């Protein structure tokens, strides 16, 4: 088989869409307040020195609007935005959140799904995290950039992204990193000095790439030459636009639903977590080298409409039947299994919702039972 290439990207916490995601998750955390009866679906838009939040909620905490504004400003400050045209202290803020429809609440409060839709989970044997390699290394790069910036590399701005191309010899058999594209916002004193920026960035990111790069790997840093104006001043950010970054980097299907700002009765979030849990357990058990799991739900209905399992190029009805008989796939069952109303949603906002060992759905504690 001729070698082929696959590419995925990740973004830093200061990317405009991720600023919006983090604001949505932090506001949702505050309004949910670990209360299983509370509901949130928070959308955020950020642009030049402005933040607007909207969406629907069911909570008794909405009356304290000053606290929500303070939380939004603190979020922007913690990310590191004190730019002339996007500053936590001077930005304009608008709150358009309203109460949840009683028609939605009627079914959800009885344990049904918060919406209709389909969710996918994926896992493969390419690395210890059981994640596809391109998104795995993209996340490592963007996390390293943010860590370096918070650690004193003050020439870096909050905005940035990375794109990694993996060369494969066969399915789930990565050979090397063929190309790395990395863009990071930088200070004005490095304007028109792309060689120095590239040197500094490579020093930060190369240790994250293990032994996967070689002398022929191409590193491209800030391909336009400069990246001074960035963040929401350079590009509008909206909640939910980085769903591929949040999942598998395009290596697996996506149902289309975003995560951020949503309580876990929304199966866009909880269903996707369960699908990943199942897929990861299938691979961890040795039953397959790769696994794709699809779940689908109807709004207000407890049991999933369908369950589909695809492993190593084959539909595996035997595995899906075992799962249906042994795993609680209702939204409430998923919430209780992963303790999702205790979850700090902002822990999932950046660098993907999957592949992080400390998250409950990344555990493989049913894998010993999955022997097909």
230, with CB counted inside 10 A (0-12, 13-18, 19+), is buried
What pLDDT does residue 226 have?
85
| pLDDT tier, 107 (very low <50, low <70, confident <90, very high otherwise) | low
DSSP 209: G
Tell me the torsion sign for CA atoms 70, 74, 77, 81: negative
pLDDT at residue 369, rounded to an integer: 78
Q: So what's the pLDDT on residue 25?
A: 98
Q: Would you say the pTM of this structure is higher than 0.85?
A: yes
Contact between 286 and 300 (Cβ < 8 Å)? no
Tens digit of pLDDT for each residue in 13-31? 999 999 999 999 999 999 9
Q: What is the pLDDT of residues 295-331, one digit of tens each?
A: 999 988 899 999 999 999 999 999 999 999 999 999 9
pLDDT score of 372 more than 70? no
- Report the pLDDT value the prediction gives residue 102, as an integer from 0 to 100: 66
Residue 131 confidence (pLDDT): 98
Nearest to 185 by CA among 18, 356, 355: 18
Give yes or no for residue 12 having a pLDDT over 90.
yes
Structure tokens at 340: 């999702």
* Residue 209, CA distances (Å) to 26, 53, 206 in order: 31, 37, 5
What pLDDT is attached to residue 100? 77
> Does the pLDDT of residue 61 top 80, yes or no?
no
How would residue 66 be classed by pLDDT, with cut points 50, 70 and 90? Answer: confident
Q: Does 63 score more than 90 pLDDT?
A: no
Show the 3-state SS of 137-182: HHHHHHHHHHHHHHCCCCCEEEEEEEEEEEEEEECCEEEEEEEEEE
pLDDT score for 228: 83
Residue 109: pLDDT band (50, 70, 90) is low
* pLDDT at residue 198 in the model: 94
Q: Which of 32, 8, 16 is nearest to 248 (CA)?
A: 8
pLDDT at residue number 41? 95
Q: Residue 83's pLDDT is what?
A: 92
81: phi then psi, degrees, rounded to nearest 5? -90, 110
Binning pLDDT at 50, 70 and 90, where does residue 104 land? Answer: low
Collect all residues with Cβ–Cβ distance below 8 Å to 354 and sequence separation of at least 6. 131, 247, 248, 276, 361, 362
Q: In the chain, what percentage of residues exceed pLDDT 70? A: 96
Q: Sign (positive/negative) of CA torsion 13, 15, 16, 17?
A: negative
pLDDT of residue 227: 85
Label residue 108 by pLDDT band (50, 70, 90): low
């Amino acid at each position: 088989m001729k070698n082929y290439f696959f590419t995925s990207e990740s973004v830093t916490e200061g990317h405009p869409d991720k600023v919006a995601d983090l604001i949505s998750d932090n506001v949702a955390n505050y309004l949910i307040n670990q209360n299983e009866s509370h509901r949130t679906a928070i959308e955020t838009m950020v642009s030049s020195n402005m933040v607007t939040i909207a969406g629907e909620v069911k909570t008794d905490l909405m009356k304290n609007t000053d606290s929500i504004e303070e939380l939004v400003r603190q979020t922007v400050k913690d990310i590191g935005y004190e730019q002339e045209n996007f500053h936590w202290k001077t930005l304009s803020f608008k709150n358009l959140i309203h109460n949840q429809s009683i028609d939605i609440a009627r079914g959800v409060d009885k344990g049904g799904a918060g919406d209709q839709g389909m969710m996918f989970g994926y896992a493969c044997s390419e690395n210890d995290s059981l994640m596809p390699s391109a998104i795995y290394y993209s996340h490592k790069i963007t996390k390293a950039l943010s860590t370096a910036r918070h650690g004193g590399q003050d020439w870096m701005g909050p905005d940035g992204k990375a794109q990694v191309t993996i060369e494969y010899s066969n399915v789930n058999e990565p050979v090397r990193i063929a190309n790395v594209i990395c863009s990071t916002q930088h200070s004005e004193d490095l304007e028109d000095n792309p060689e120095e920026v590239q040197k500094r960035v490579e020093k930060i990111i190369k240790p994250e790439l293990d032994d996967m790069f070689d002398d022929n790997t191409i590193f491209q840093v800030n391909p336009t030459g400069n990246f001074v104006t960035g963040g929401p001043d350079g590009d509008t950010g909206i909640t939910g636009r980085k769903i591929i970054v949040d999942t598998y980097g395009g290596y697996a299907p996506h149902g289309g639903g975003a995560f951020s700002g949503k309580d876990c009765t929304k199966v866009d979030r909880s269903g996707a977590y369960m699908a990943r849990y199942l897929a990861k357990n299938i691979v961890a058990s040795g039953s397959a080298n790769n696994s794709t799991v699809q779940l689908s739900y109807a709004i207000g209905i407890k049991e999933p409409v369908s369950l589909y399992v695809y492993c190593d190029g084959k539909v595996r009805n035997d595995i899906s039947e075992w799962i249906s008989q042994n795993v609680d796939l209702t939204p409430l069952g998923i919430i209780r299994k992963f303790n999702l109303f205790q979850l700090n949603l902002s822990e999932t906002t950046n660098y993907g919702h999957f592949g992080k060992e400390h998250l409950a759905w990344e555990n493989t504690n049913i894998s010993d039972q999955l022997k097909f």
